[in-house]
Structure 1
Amino acid sequence: MNVRRLIPTAAVIGAVALGLTACSASGTSDSRSGDRLDVVASFYPMQFLAERIGGDHVSVTTLTKPNQEPHDLELSYRQIGGLSDAGLILYLKGIQPAVDEAIKLSESTNALDATTLTTLEDHGTEVGGEEHGHDEHAHEHEGEEAGADPHIWLDPVKYTEVAKGVGEALEKTDPDHAADYRKNTAALVKELGALDTAYRTGLKDATTRTFITTHSAFGYLAERYGLTQEGIAGIDPEAEPSPARISALHSIAEKEKVTTVFFEALASDRTAKTVARDTGLRTDVLDPLEGITGASKGDDYIEVMKSNLAALRTALGAK
């Protein structure tokens, strides 16, 4: 993963203007595709909720392609213009600057920021005088306290809160199908509740409760289930860690009986292998679920989260 690039404001303004002009010329501005409500999702966690709760009543367009690193997303004129046509826009502020800026400049009244549906927290930690495990995108999250971690979807309980909010937004936007949205929301909430139970029971007897990861995205998950996340780099999970950090991780691994260094599916495993080699640990994937690809260990959010649980159970020595 690369550090995210901010699109210059002037460029975004121009893109919004051109996009809106193009859409006006096309005459498609009724926010529906046939009988279905047009929903724009910023990236996979929002797409999953839209599809599962919206069902056959929505047509979902995702701004981020499956193999695309979401933090580095740059929007096309067509994508930006499409925001004005959407019946509902689902996004998560603080993850994708290009999306945040485009929505802000478009002055859309039908955009739902998922961070408003739950409470954000700061998951920064300090090791050896250096700050690690601190979410690398926190400083870009406007409207929240400095250090707010936006990775709420990796906590099934917080994701449930977001799911309920998305369901309510769909009911309000498309009241003709409100009953179906309520039914689909209830079914998904039940699934997420079962996932939460699986994590609670599956990790309760772990031999160690500390894990090392190249991407410090699992702060909410760690807090929810009594674990400790040790991030390697914090800003860029593909960056080489400093010798001091390697030494600190080596000490942590010995003290806490850590067995595994986790890396993510959409990024290189180079950093994880460097740390594993220098600390004598093995490597495995812990997927931050920012996109589903052919390399993902599952076809959707629920399946990949179950795969993550299995990986954590093995790494933490759960019985």
Structure 2
Amino acid sequence: MTRRDALRAGGAAAALAGLAGCTALPSAPGQAGSDGDGDGESDGPVAVASFFSFFDFGREIAEGTPLTVENLVPTGLHGHGWEPNASITQRIIEADAFVHVGKDFQPWADRAIETIEGDDVDTALINVRAGIELVDLAETLDREEEGVGAQRGKDPHFWLDPRRAKQSVDNIAEGFADLLPDHAEAFRENAETYKSDVLDRIDADYEAIFDAAERDIVQLAAHNAFQYIGVRYGVRMRPLVTNLAASGDVKPADIREAAEVIRENDIRYIANGVFESQRPAQQLVRETGVEAYFPVTPYAGVRKEWVAENWGYEEIADNINMPTFEIVLGNKTPEEAAPSPEWLEQWRNFEPV
């Protein structure tokens, strides 16, 4: 009987008892790595990830090895601010490794780690944030939120900066190498290839987009997740929702301030989060000179069609964020920036998921 067979037979029941009260949500989306079929029942070693971006990095790093990587966040949900049911914690306990974003970012993940450590479960813990320098919280942030873990006052959304994301790729590769030493060389080679072919290329493309812009401000009808792009490429990101998570009310004062920014900077197009409410963006279209809003995402979730097309961090950067930044910065018209007429039809003043 394998370790995971024993856990399925009931060995994890006591460890899960304290988590049974979590809010029930759909099961994970069934995205898997190189050798998996996405059903969570792989016979080989399995690593599960608490956040879409790092699932995607993990599956790229695991390519060509026996390791399967699974995404725990259900399709259509934002990875920051949801509470899974106990079956997700059981999946973590049954896995050989848990790829997580570090302390105080996803409370449910913190509880799962406490269970693993407290009950001597041998699931390996891989912290993607280890060794990464975080920037200070944006001035626009609600000051009631202090930041992340031991680094209070810091912004957790580091993966939006492709250069910082490279460290998380290394962290995952080393964690996988510790887990499966016989495949350490493959993990590290895959990591180097991904960093050079994907993250360096995305970095260069972003740099070209922002360097070409005459405007240095982007108005977002979205939550406060994009500061790392602003810091890296010298642009002011103006979120409408000042929470760190993709939740929270938009106050009338926030709308008034956004309207003033739009007027002073002659902004015609704004960006809005794919997995967030469209109502504030729609209000700005009605009440200001904004003509339309277009999609951005901090790579924190996926739509069904993205899963069907096997989109990862790279494809989302290329097909969602980059065209929108070209538009909202005024580099190109929506017609020029859109990858296709269908894209423009779908994403101009798009509807909720």
- For Structure 1 versus Structure 2, the TM-score category normalised by the shorter chain is 0.7 to 0.9
1:113 pairs, out of 115, 127, 133, with: 127
> Match for 1:304: what amino acid?
I
Find the aligned partners of 1:102 and 1:263 in 2 and give their Cα distance: 32
- Relative to structure 1, the CA distance from residue 242 to residue 291 in structure 2 (aligned partners, 3 Å threshold; closer, same or farther) is closer
2:193 pairs, out of 187, 193, 196, with: 187
- Where does structure 2 lack aligned partners over 5 or more consecutive residues? 1-14, 21-40, 333-353
Task: Note if 1:220 corresponds to 2:217.
Answer: no
C-alpha deviation, 1:192, in angstroms: 0.5
- Relative to structure 1, the CA distance from residue 258 to residue 200 in structure 2 (aligned partners, 3 Å threshold; closer, same or farther) is same
Equivalent residue number for residue 204 of structure 1: 211
Equivalent residue number for residue 277 of structure 1: 286
Equivalent residue number for residue 316 of structure 1: 329
Equivalent residue number for residue 87 of structure 1: 96
- Where does structure 1 lack aligned partners over 5 or more consecutive residues? 1-10, 17-31, 126-131
Aligned residues: 286
Task: Note if 1:65 corresponds to 2:97.
Answer: no
- Relative to structure 1, the CA distance from residue 83 to residue 244 in structure 2 (aligned partners, 3 Å threshold; closer, same or farther) is closer
Equivalent residue number for residue 162 of structure 2: 156
Find the aligned partners of 2:158 and 2:111 in 1 and give their Cα distance: 21
Task: Note if 1:55 corresponds to 2:63.
Answer: yes
CA contact (8 A) 2:55 2:71 kept: yes
Equivalent residue number for residue 246 of structure 1: 255
Equivalent residue number for residue 123 of structure 1: 137
> Match for 1:14: what amino acid?
G
- Relative to structure 1, the CA distance from residue 100 to residue 266 in structure 2 (aligned partners, 3 Å threshold; closer, same or farther) is same
> Match for 1:317: what amino acid?
G
Find the aligned partners of 2:106 and 2:186 in 1 and give their Cα distance: 31
Give the SS at the match of 1:149: coil
Equivalent residue number for residue 296 of structure 2: 286
> Match for 1:284: what amino acid?
F
Find the aligned partners of 2:280 and 2:200 in 1 and give their Cα distance: 34
> Match for 1:202: what amino acid?
I
2:268 pairs, out of 247, 252, 259, with: 259
Find the aligned partners of 1:80 and 1:44 in 2 and give their Cα distance: 17
Find the aligned partners of 1:228 and 1:135 in 2 and give their Cα distance: 19
C-alpha deviation, 1:156, in angstroms: 0.8
Find the aligned partners of 1:275 and 1:96 in 2 and give their Cα distance: 31
Find the aligned partners of 1:39 and 1:135 in 2 and give their Cα distance: 36
C-alpha deviation, 1:133, in angstroms: 4.3
Give the SS at the match of 2:276: coil
RMSD: 2.7
> Match for 1:152: what amino acid?
F
CA contact (8 A) 2:147 2:156 kept: no
> For residues 238-280 of structure 1, what are the alpha-carbon distances to aligned partners after superposition, in whole Å with 9 as ceiling and x for unaligned?
6553332222222222223333222111222111111232222
CA contact (8 A) 1:134 1:231 kept: no
2:45 pairs, out of 37, 51, 55, with: 37
- Relative to structure 1, the CA distance from residue 240 to residue 78 in structure 2 (aligned partners, 3 Å threshold; closer, same or farther) is closer
Ranked by relative contact order (alpha carbons within 8 Å, sequence separation 6 or more), the top structure is 1
Find the aligned partners of 2:68 and 2:246 in 1 and give their Cα distance: 34
Give the SS at the match of 1:198: helix
> Match for 2:268: what amino acid?
T
C-alpha deviation, 1:176, in angstroms: 0.4
C-alpha deviation, 1:195, in angstroms: 0.8
CA contact (8 A) 1:44 1:290 kept: yes
- Using the TM superposition, name which of 110-119 and 252-261 deviates more: 252-261
1:171 pairs, out of 151, 157, 177, with: 177
C-alpha deviation, 1:155, in angstroms: 1.1
